[in-house]
Chain A
């Protein structure tokens, strides 16, 4: 079964510390992976996708097919990064996104 695992429900870091939100996936095909973010009282929004190899708000994520991982990283956390983060997998064919259970990031001042 195709699956997305985010092992941490909650991650607390101090402001200025590095952040790594873990995401592992299980899929035998060629995946497309995304990170979505939900700030307090806001709708979910796309943060970044691996095919774009972009950096958004200082966050980056690299697809590691050998380790089947797509960890989200930021070198220096900011208080405004506090939010719920979801990793999502897009399989080939006409199938919807599969989301992980999410990790709540709390940045402590």
Chain B
């Protein structure tokens, strides 16, 4: 068990609706990240967290917000989903920002906005 789970695994939603994706870890790692994976773009950072209630924006943060009220959970919210947000979303965790042990990734959430 990798110690990190994402939910839901798949979701189809309509344009304009809010959507929340959840990342849950059991490793007690300080750092958590949300990336999106798109063909031709690779992995792009949306938001990340360096502690409870401490978050910062990544390179593609527009249209997304995050919250981290406890160490184990990092939520990603699409305020009003658009078709351009159809993607696979990956959560990752690390115990240090230097990531000597590397990032551990979740299994991903495939989101389709219709």
Contacts and interface: CB of A to CB of B under 8 A. Distances in A.
Interface of A: 6, 9, 32, 34, 36, 43-46, 49, 51, 86, 90, 93-102
Contact of A43 (B40, B44, B45, B105): B105
Contacts of A34: 99, 102
Contact of B40 (A36, A97, A101): A101
A100 B35 CA distance: 13
A43 B108 contact: yes
A66 B107 CA distance: 36
Task: Indicate the size class of the contact surface on chain B.
Answer: 20 to 34
Contact of B90 (A9, A44, A46, A51): A44
A30 to B, nearest CB: 12
A99 B48 contact: no
A99 B43 contact: yes
B98 A96 contact: no
Contact of B58 (A6, A43, A44, A96): A96
A56 B49 CA distance: 30
B38 to A, nearest CB: 9
Contacts of B35: 99
